Structure 1
Amino acid sequence: MRKSRIQARRERMYFVWGTVLLLVVALIAAAAIYLQFTRSSEVDKTTLCPKSGPIGHVVLLVDKTDPLNFTQKQAFQALLEEIITQKVAPGELLSVFVLGEDYTASAIPLIELCNPGDGRGKSELTANVNRLKRQFEQQFRGPMLALANELQSQQPAKFSPVLEMIQLASINGFRARSAGGPHTLVLVSDMLHNTASFSMYKGDYDYKHFLESPYGRKMNTDLAGVEVELHYLLNTPNLQTRRHLKFWEEYFSNAGARIVSVRPLEG
């Protein structure tokens, strides 16, 4: 009898401690879920970037010194959507620059925002998926797509300072932000630099000769580790030859970058 009472008492104690242990584990799990949920929303309210900083940086530089034709406009709209939804990963920063005739008037980005993520791949247990999707659409994708008209012109410009704008995209884009991870420069342009100091319309694509000139030395910039994607506007195909592309390959290589893709924009 006495042994039975002692055994019963032990069993009750085991049950009580087991229940306490289960409660402790449940509280720890709940705290972990809460912390994960909280961290998922820890972004800067202005830039939508993680408070620890962007995990990558995409700089988009769009040339608007020549009007787009109808087909080019459709292709550009599709490209812009592709960049916003596929090229910029959640947590990465997208900086948008425009190349106009007066590069001093467009020295800073038109807009800079991080992709906050749209909730895909997230669990309802650890993230507010609906809030993330709404934030992505209203605060990132929407404002970026609204720029489409600002990135296009109606009249051709007299000058096209491509080299100056690449310098500014480096200085006020990549170097102005402490972003970790990959750095990508996406260029939408015919890449036919044209200023009083140097014009590619004269057919001079000798990069070594250019680099040895005073203007060429001034146009040096630092794009170390940057991957470059060219989306060619084929406005003057007779000038946009293999020699023309070779000039830019050597230019970016000298700046520490490399061209990873060349894609003509339809039209």
Structure 2
Amino acid sequence: MAPPKKGKGRSGGEGPPILAILLFGFVALSGGALGYYYLSAERPLELDRTSLCPVDGPRAVTAVLVDATDDLPDASKRQVTAIVTDAAASLAPHEMLDIRVIDASGSRSVFTRCNPGDGAGLSEWTANPTLARRRWEEGFRKPTEQAIAASMASARAKTSPIMKGIQDTALERFTSSQSNMASRRLIIISDMLENDPDYSHYSGDLSFQRYRRSAAFRKYSTDLNDAEVTIRVVQRLSRKPADDLALIQFWRDWISDNKGRFQEATRLQGAG
């Protein structure tokens, strides 16, 4: 009887090699980690190409209303430049700056743009901070400087419809019901002497009661939607001096009556 044949042992090529298993595991773990990082990384908001604001609306609004119905004194112009520049610099990414002028017809915007962010804090791996910085420089900072100069160009007029200018601003910027609107701010740069056919601070007393009896009370009623209002008062030499305390009290009452929050009123330097 022939001796039994020995069984063949397993060759090294049969079965999954240990090296392949380890390599597969490493690739799977690496891919999972990268996928998690990608999915958890904050996505850049989609921005409107013209305004640079998020397509679902700005996160906050700062409106600067410059009364151009009379010339600004030179010293006041320099101070206004600093005020508006500071307002622009204080904006967080995706907050809007609206620079407006008051003329005979009310107010109009000369610059409306959101701060797109200057790239600070962006990752070199998941974003492009260099591109973001260039977009901020060319699309926001430089146009802001140009708009500040344009807002102080005189549009001399016989009337000074400050209330109409504020109403225009509120209708365009403060009536949004967006839940993502964190805050609304209004900075008014004017002598604050309303001069309109329906009501004028140049005739009669400065009491809010007299205003309530005028046609302007209903005509210019608006909703500031809890906006914070700051006044920078332009000083005039060519007009009859007004009772500053009574004038500011009038505007405190007017702002409160129109659902705004008065913050402060301070005089600008210079007079003209």
Which category of TM-score, normalised to the shorter sequence, fits these structures?
Answer: 0.7 to 0.9
For the Cα contact (< 8 Å) 1:59–1:174, is it kept in 2? no
Name the CA distance, whole Å, in 1 between partners of 2:88 and 2:26.
50
Residue in 2 that maps onto 1:18? 25
Determine which of 244, 261, 264 is the counterpart of 1:261. Answer: 264
Give 1:12 shift. Answer: 4.8
Q: Which runs of 4+ in 1 moved over 6 A?
A: none
Q: What is the TM-score of this pair, normalised by structure 1?
A: 0.84
Can you give the 5+ residue segments of structure 2 that lack an aligned partner in the other structure? Answer: 1-8
Quick check: 116-125 or 164-173, which moved more?
116-125
Residue in 2 that maps onto 1:57? 61
For the Cα contact (< 8 Å) 2:69–2:154, is it kept in 1? no
Q: How many pairs align? A: 255
Give 1:261 shift. Answer: 2.8
User: What one-letter code is carried by the residue in structure 1 that aligns with 2:264?
Assistant: S
Name the CA distance, whole Å, in 2 between partners of 1:220 and 1:41.
36
Q: Rate the CA distance shift 1:14–1:155 in 2: closer, same or farther, 3 A.
A: closer
Give 1:177 shift. Answer: 8.5
Name the CA distance, whole Å, in 2 between partners of 1:232 and 1:181.
27
Q: In the alignment, does 2:96 pair up with 1:93?
A: yes
For the Cα contact (< 8 Å) 1:203–1:239, is it kept in 2? no
Q: In the alignment, does 2:251 pair up with 1:248?
A: yes
Q: In the alignment, does 2:99 pair up with 1:83?
A: no
RMSD after superposition: 2.8
Residue in 2 that maps onto 1:145? 145
For the Cα contact (< 8 Å) 2:163–2:194, is it kept in 1? yes
Residue in 2 that maps onto 1:126? 126
Q: What is the TM-score of this pair, normalised by structure 2?
A: 0.82
Name the CA distance, whole Å, in 2 between partners of 1:102 and 1:17.
72
- Percent identical among aligned pairs is 30
User: What one-letter code is carried by the residue in structure 1 that aligns with 2:220?
Assistant: M
Equivalences for 1:1-267 in 2 at 5 Å? Answer: 12=19, 15-29=22-36, 31-32=38-39, 36=42, 39-40=43-44, 42-86=46-90, 88-103=91-106, 106=107, 108-154=108-154, 156-175=156-175, 178=178, 180-202=181-203, 204-235=205-236, 238-239=241-242, 241-267=244-270
Name the CA distance, whole Å, in 1 between partners of 2:149 and 2:229.
24
Give 1:154 shift. Answer: 4.4
Can you give the 5+ residue segments of structure 1 that lack an aligned partner in the other structure? Answer: none
Name the CA distance, whole Å, in 1 between partners of 2:70 and 2:261.
26
User: What one-letter code is carried by the residue in structure 2 that aligns with 1:31?
Assistant: Y
Name the CA distance, whole Å, in 2 between partners of 1:177 and 1:146.
31
